[in-house]
């Protein structure tokens, strides 16, 4: 009896929160033994577009059914009538645990009236709630995915685990904005339906189902993005309809540098970790070979250094050693840009680098083609916070010695060799040119909001005044416009669009003779620029130029909607 009494004292008084070598919290375990829970919302923060529309369609009206309904008489016909399904369908889903009613394998989504009507029935064991059940995601790559990583959770949120707010199995951000803003999004407490069970685990009939949620009216937080949901969905439709397998598009607001739409292919299965680990990354943030799009940088330097006079023999190949694949004759600098003559830009780049070997890096930066272009800065206690932690840096030269090798200079001048830039950076370059040279860091998030809509933190605009003269910017704008207006321009297909377009095409060799990267980057309307758009198809051997088609179709779709 003394030993038994000592054991009870140990359990009840001294080791109630840390019993045995496994440090078991007996108080929590005893509650869990008699009270079970149905999670209806994990408490993680959400994403909305610039106008407040939800980008992740995952909270719906749902009906929860408790297992004792199998053994009692209840008005299942009335519930079936409200849901417009058969009573048999409802009864077949009842199990030994509470379930959220499904139809055709998916959670049955209820209207606000259905939620009200079901709860008005006041049937014990039938509860209609707004639950987080998963759903369609707009801008899946940009928003990103969540997943479980016990080690990371313990390292980053040990205090929350100790406080009992989260468990080591709580999902955290793995990619995209889910990853960048994880510290703000991580749950502050679940919303649950609680019910008592008997010793066999069966729900106790007659006990009230209770709703448990965090009492904090400010959480979970809301991330207000810069996206326009209508433009984003329109972009996704255009890219899907084109049949593009790898690539995508980026649409920026010229004046603010905000992302309005972003699509990356292949698509990311948002609720599957495997899609991310198998390489379905955001191609719009990844650095790729740009091809002739990079000639825009050489053109800016040539205009500023006054290297544009005279005629260029475009019946020579890139190195001036023989005929090119397509002979173009003697062309002016403007004609060379419109028709994308490689020899002209190889020759000019060679002259520029002889005078200043860092000339391409400097002019790329002045055009907004910086190492990275996404917003970065201090946010609360986070130093150098990045909205795009996965953005890959720009590269122009891999080896400094290449600046003294003529063939390496020629290849670099036309965006080949080791040149790598992301579509996001190219879009920022076009936006910079369109607004006259002012460089702005690209943003995807406008502000972090409390649950009640109050602003927790707003992201300020990070801008740099132009270092290029008005003369340079005006001539650069005219060059980009000539690509479309010229009868032999590489962008002449856009002449028939309902708005005026300026831009530059690019076809980049990938190292495999059969596969290329195809680009078109530009802005519109030309007279009063509003949008900067980049469309790119990566590593393709298709005859059709899908990048050009996507650019044209999206511009036309935006114009037709009057947006």
Per residue in 260-280, pLDDT (tens digit) is 999 999 987 543 445 445 456
What is the C-alpha separation between 90 and 77, in angstroms, rounded? 9
Average pLDDT over residues 424-444: 97
Whether residue 473 is contained in a domain is answered as yes
**DSSP designation for 196:** E
Number of domains in the chain: 2
Q: Six-digit token pair at 279?
A: 């390489």
Kindly state whether residues 128 and 237 are assigned to the same domain: no
Q: Which of 66, 304, 270 is nearest to 176 (CA)?
A: 270
What is the C-alpha separation between 291 and 298, in angstroms, rounded? 12
pLDDT digits (tens, 9 = 90+) for 241-260: 999 999 999 999 999 999 99
- 515-520: long-range contacts (C-beta < 8 A, 24 or more apart)? 515/539, 515/540, 515/541, 516/291, 516/540, 516/541, 517/288, 517/289, 517/290, 517/291, 518/545, 518/546, 518/547, 518/548, 519/290, 519/291, 519/293, 519/423, 519/426, 519/547, 520/491, 520/547, 520/548, 520/551
List, in sequence order, every beta strand (DSSP E) within 26-115: 35-41, 46-48, 59-65, 99-100, 102-103, 106-107
Kindly state whether residues 386 and 529 are assigned to the same domain: yes
109 contacts 60 by C-beta, under 8 angstroms: yes
Burial zone of 435 (CB within 10 Å; 0-12 exposed, 13-18 middle, 19+ buried):
buried
Q: Six-digit token pair at 499?
A: 């708005």
Average pLDDT over residues 2-10: 84
131 contact partners, CB below 8 Å, separation of at least 6? 40, 41, 59, 60, 61, 62, 64, 100, 107
Q: How confident is the model at residue 195 (pLDDT cuts 50, 70, 90)?
A: low
Kindly state whether residues 238 and 118 are assigned to the same domain: no
Kindly state whether residues 334 and 471 are assigned to the same domain: yes
| Whether residue 18 lies in the annotated active site | no
> Of residues 292, 336, 340, 535, which has the active-site annotation?
292
Q: How confident is the model at residue 393 (pLDDT cuts 50, 70, 90)?
A: very high
Whether residue 147 is contained in a domain is answered as no
Whether residue 418 is contained in a domain is answered as yes
Kindly state whether residues 100 and 247 are assigned to the same domain: no
Average pLDDT over residues 514-542: 97
Phi first, then psi: what are they for 431, rounded to 5°? -65, -40
pLDDT digits (tens, 9 = 90+) for 117-166: 998 998 888 888 887 766 678 999 999 988 888 888 888 888 887 777 77
Q: How confident is the model at residue 359 (pLDDT cuts 50, 70, 90)?
A: very high
Final residue belonging to a domain, choices 113, 133, 153: 133
Kindly state whether residues 418 and 540 are assigned to the same domain: yes
Phi first, then psi: what are they for 417, rounded to 5°? 55, -115
Kindly state whether residues 484 and 368 are assigned to the same domain: yes
Cβ neighbours of 103 (radius 10 Å): 13
Which pLDDT does position 270 carry in this prediction? 41
Whether residue 195 is contained in a domain is answered as no
CATH of the domain at 329: 3.40.710.10
Q: Six-digit token pair at 218?
A: 């400010």
Q: How confident is the model at residue 72 (pLDDT cuts 50, 70, 90)?
A: confident
Which pLDDT does position 276 carry in this prediction? 46
Q: Helix axis angle, 295-304 relative to 342-355, nearest 10°?
A: 50
Which pLDDT does position 10 carry in this prediction? 76
What is the C-alpha separation between 98 and 551, in angstroms, rounded? 50
Kindly state whether residues 232 and 91 are assigned to the same domain: no
Whether residue 22 is contained in a domain is answered as no
Whether residue 178 is contained in a domain is answered as no
Which pLDDT does position 229 carry in this prediction? 96
Which pLDDT does position 300 carry in this prediction? 98
Q: Which residue has the higher pLDDT, 26 or 276?
A: 26
pLDDT digits (tens, 9 = 90+) for 46-71: 999 999 998 986 778 888 888 778 88
Average pLDDT over residues 178-194: 80
CATH of the domain at 89: 3.90.1310.10
Which pLDDT does position 529 carry in this prediction? 98
Which pLDDT does position 303 carry in this prediction? 98
Which pLDDT does position 320 carry in this prediction? 92
- 118-122: long-range contacts (C-beta < 8 A, 24 or more apart)? 118/63, 118/79, 118/82, 121/75, 121/78, 121/79, 121/82
Whether residue 230 is contained in a domain is answered as yes
530 contact partners, CB below 8 Å, separation of at least 6? 253, 254, 255, 524
Give percent of the chain above pLDDT 90.
Answer: 62
Phi first, then psi: what are they for 48, rounded to 5°? -130, 160
439 contacts 255 by C-beta, under 8 angstroms: no
384 contacts 245 by C-beta, under 8 angstroms: no
Of 165-174, 238-247, 362-371, which gets the smallest average pLDDT? 165-174
Final residue belonging to a domain, choices 133, 150, 166: 133
Give percent of the chain above pLDDT 70.
Answer: 87
Average pLDDT over residues 178-203: 73
Kindly state whether residues 117 and 233 are assigned to the same domain: no
Q: How confident is the model at residue 214 (pLDDT cuts 50, 70, 90)?
A: low
Q: Which residue has the higher pLDDT, 199 or 389?
A: 389
* pLDDT over 50 (residue 173): yes
Q: Is 188 helix (H, G, I), strand (E, B) or coil?
A: coil
* pLDDT over 70 (residue 557): yes
Sign (positive or negative) of CA dihedral 24, 26, 30, 36 = negative
516 contacts 509 by C-beta, under 8 angstroms: yes
Average pLDDT over residues 81-105: 87
Which pLDDT does position 23 carry in this prediction? 63
Which pLDDT does position 132 carry in this prediction? 74
Final residue belonging to a domain, choices 133, 167, 197: 133
Q: Six-digit token pair at 125?
A: 């064991």
Whether residue 31 is contained in a domain is answered as no
- Residue 104's domain comprises 59-133
Q: Which residue has the higher pLDDT, 212 or 240?
A: 240
Average pLDDT, the chain: 88
């Amino acid at each position: 009896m003394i030993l038994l009494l000592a054991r009870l004292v140990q359990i009840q008084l001294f080791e109630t929160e840390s019993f045995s070598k496994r440090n078991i919290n007996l108080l929590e375990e005893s509650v869990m033994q008699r009270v079970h829970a149905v999670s209806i919302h994990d408490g993680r923060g959400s994403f909305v577009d610039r106008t407040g529309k939800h980008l992740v369609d995952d909270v719906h009206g749902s009906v929860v059914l408790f297992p004792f309904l199998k053994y009692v008489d209840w008005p299942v016909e009335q519930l079936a009538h409200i849901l417009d399904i058969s009573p048999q369908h409802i009864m077949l889903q009842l199990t030994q645990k509470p379930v959220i009613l499904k139809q055709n394998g998916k959670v049955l989504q209820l209207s606000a009236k259905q939620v009200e009507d079901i709860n008005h029935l006041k049937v014990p064991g039938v509860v209609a709630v707004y639950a987080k059940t998963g759903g369609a995601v707009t801008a899946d790559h940009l928003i990103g995915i969540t997943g479980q990583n016990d080690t990371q959770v313990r390292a980053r949120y040990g205090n929350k685990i100790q406080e009992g707010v989260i468990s080591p199995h709580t999902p955290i951000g793995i990619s995209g904005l889910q990853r960048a803003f994880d510290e703000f999004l991580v749950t502050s407490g679940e919303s649950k339906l609680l019910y008592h069970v008997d010793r066999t685990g069966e729900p106790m009939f007659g006990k009230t189902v209770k709703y448990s949620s965090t009492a904090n009216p400010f959480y979970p937080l809301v991330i207000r993005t810069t996206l326009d949901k209508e433009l984003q969905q329109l972009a996704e439709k255009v890219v899907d309809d084109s049949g593009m397998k790898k690539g995508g598009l980026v649409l920026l607001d010229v004046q603010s540098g905000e992302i309005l739409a972003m699509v990356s292919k292949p698509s990311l299965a948002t609720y599957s970790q495997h899609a991310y680990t198998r390489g379905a990354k955001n191609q719009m943030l990844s650095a790729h070979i740009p091809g002739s799009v990079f000639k825009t940088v050489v053109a800016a330097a040539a205009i500023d250094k006054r290297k544009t006079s005279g005629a260029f023999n475009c019946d020579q190949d890139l190195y001036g050693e023989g005929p090119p694949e397509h002979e173009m004759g003697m062309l002016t600098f403007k004609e060379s840009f419109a028709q994308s003559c490689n020899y002209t830009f190889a020759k000019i780049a060679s002259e520029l680098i002889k005078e200043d070997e860092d000339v391409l890096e400097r002019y790329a930066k002045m055009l907004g083609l910086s190492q990275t272009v996404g917003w970065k800065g201090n946010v609360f206690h986070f130093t150098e916070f990045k909205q795009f932690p996965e953005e890959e840096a720009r590269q122009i030269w891999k080896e400094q010695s290449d600046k003294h090798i003529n063939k390496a200079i020629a290849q670099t001048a036309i965006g080949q060799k080791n040149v790598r830039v992301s579509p996001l950076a190219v879009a920022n370059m076009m936006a910079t040119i369109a607004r006259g040279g002012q460089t702005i860091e690209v943003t995807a998030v406008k502000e972090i909001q409390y649950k009640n809509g109050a602003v927790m933190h707003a992201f300020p605009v990070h801008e740099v005044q132009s270092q290029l003269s008005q003369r340079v910017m005006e001539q650069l704008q005219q060059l980009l416009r000539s690509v479309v207006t010229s009868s032999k321009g590489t962008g002449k297909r856009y002449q028939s669009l309902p708005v005026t377009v300026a831009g530059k095409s690019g076809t980049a060799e990938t190292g495999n003779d059969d596969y290329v990267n195809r680009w078109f980057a530009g802005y519109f309307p030309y007279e009063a620029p509003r949008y900067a758009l980049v469309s790119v198809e990566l590593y393709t051997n298709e005859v059709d130029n899908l990048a050009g088609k996507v650019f044209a179709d999206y511009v036309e779709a935006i114009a037709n909607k009057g947006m």
